[in-house]
Homo-oligomer: A and B are copies of this chain.
Amino acid sequence: MSNPGTTKYRELTNTTVADYLSGQSSVAPHLGPNASEWKVSEIGDGNLNLVFIVQSNQGTVIVKQALPYIRARGPSSPLPLSRAFFEYEATTRHSERAPGTTPALYHFDKDQAIIVMEYLSPHIILRKGLVLGNQYSRLAESLGQYLARIHFRGSDLSMDSASKKMDAALFAGNHALCQISEKRIFTEPYYAADLNRWSSPQLDDVVQCIRQDEPLKAAVNELKDKFMSNSQTLLHGDFHSGSVMVTDHDVRVIDPEFAFYGPMGFDVGAIIGNLLIAYCSQAGHADTNDDRSEYSRWILTVIAELWSTYEVEFKNLWLSERTGELYPKNVFPQSNSKESLNSLSRYLTSILADSFGFAGAKMIRRIIGVSHVEDMTTIEDPDLRAACESRALSIARTLVLKRNSLSNVQEAIKIAEKSNSMSCEKSR
């Protein structure tokens, strides 16, 4: 993980990648010596970065380089290169806190904002798998364990308070990425922001209703307050189904460049919200062979099992690794006393309430904000797509408004199952 010192930043191209990599000793074991024979292709399909795949007859690596601007928007929308540093630092911590859940990191270059990492194969992006209708037997358990481990071990339940404060201070430097979330998730969907888009004309009325939905806007700002001021743990920060790579046997988490110290429910809610979008989109992917009803039910079981795994793993860690200043051992000497477990239960209830709220906020922004998702955009019939989206908005609004009164994940799942289209009456 050498850092070659301050050298001028240069964007990689297909023709310069091999030359760059051949100078890095940490990469050599993975690709071998014959740089001239390596195959390079740019495969980045995200909004922000360059991503190259580099293949030799010895192996394959991924090269990810941050651009000094938002790729989807161009050089007029600058974004700090430091996000590569925060992605590297977050991946390092998360791979220690939840071993086996990230790609292996081979090389980091701070000045060039380059991370070279393991090429995951035959993994595919979870979101694509959800559109295809693929079931993954280890998905829920893996995601629940990953989140519980990174959340608990990065919090005041585990870390000493000085170390956590200084690490949170380091990640405060990632404010430009936090600001994107503040605007895209919590602000722009609720007024006539320039970049907003939605299925028009089908959702025109609903969009207007949401912008005038005062209880919803107030609740979203309460969630935003937590997003901006609650440094509970080092989050992934962008934990949607496009940040997860899966096979039948393996689950890995990528792209934590939005990492910061924030509320645990923001990660849990991000994946629950994106799974609920996938759930609502299934009617749009049905065909004569498969009406996707069984698959839809499977998605809901993933949500339930993800949360139950999170609870179980969080409890394991509460009992065995509570070494921090919060609920400390000298005040709660018996970890499995009724009182200790009551406190754990309240802590988890609070995370779940936050998760429902953030799930709803994440769903809304993917349907009426600037960034949309393949689950919906790949539905070709615009009326069918809008119907799926409207149902997702209806679920989302209910989750945001009822987040503090739902007592378990099954209640949220019932809301999803019973949901219909978003109606304007509902939000007036």
Give chain A's interface residues, CB within 8 Å of chain B.
155-156, 161-162, 164-166, 168-170, 172-173, 175-176, 178-179, 182-183, 187, 190-191, 193, 214, 217-218, 221-222, 224-225, 228-232, 325-328, 330-332, 338-339, 342-343, 346
Contact = CB atoms under 8 A, between A and B. Distances in A.
B162 A175 contact: yes
A258 B248 CA distance: 52
Nearest to A225: B326
B343 A156 contact: no
A169 B179 CA distance: 16
A208 B340 CA distance: 18
17 contacts: A161-B182, A161-B228, A165-B175, A165-B178, A166-B175, A172-B172, A182-B325, A187-B325, A191-B330, A191-B331, A217-B331, A217-B339, A221-B326, A221-B343, A224-B325, A228-B326, A229-B232
A221 B172 contact: no
Contact of A178 (B161, B224, B229, B327): B161
Chain A contact surface mostly: helix
- Pairs of residues from A and B, 7 with the lowest C-beta to C-beta distance, nearest first: A214-B339, A169-B169, A169-B172, A162-B175, A165-B172, A165-B175, A191-B330
Contacts of A327: 221
A306 B33 CA distance: 73
A168 to B, nearest CB: 6
Nearest to A171: B169
B179 A172 contact: no
A225 B325 contact: no
Contacts of A176: 162
Contacts of A191: 330-331
A176 B166 CA distance: 11
A328 to B, nearest CB: 6
Contacts of A229: 155-156, 230-232
A178 B178 CA distance: 25
Contacts of A173: 166, 169
A168 B172 contact: yes
B162 A343 contact: no
Contacts of A343: 218, 221
Contacts of A168: 169, 172
A193 B342 CA distance: 24
Nearest to A233: B229
A179 to B, nearest CB: 6
Contacts of A228: 156, 161, 164, 325-326
A397 to B, nearest CB: 16
Contacts of A326: 221, 224-225, 228
Nearest to A260: B165
A187 B328 contact: yes
Contacts of A170: 169
A153 to B, nearest CB: 15
Contacts of A218: 339, 342-343, 346
User: Quick one: which of A165, A172, A338 has the most chain B CB within 10 A?
Assistant: A165
Given A218-B343, A229-B230, 7 more contacts: A161-B179, A162-B175, A162-B179, A165-B175, A169-B170, A214-B342, A228-B325
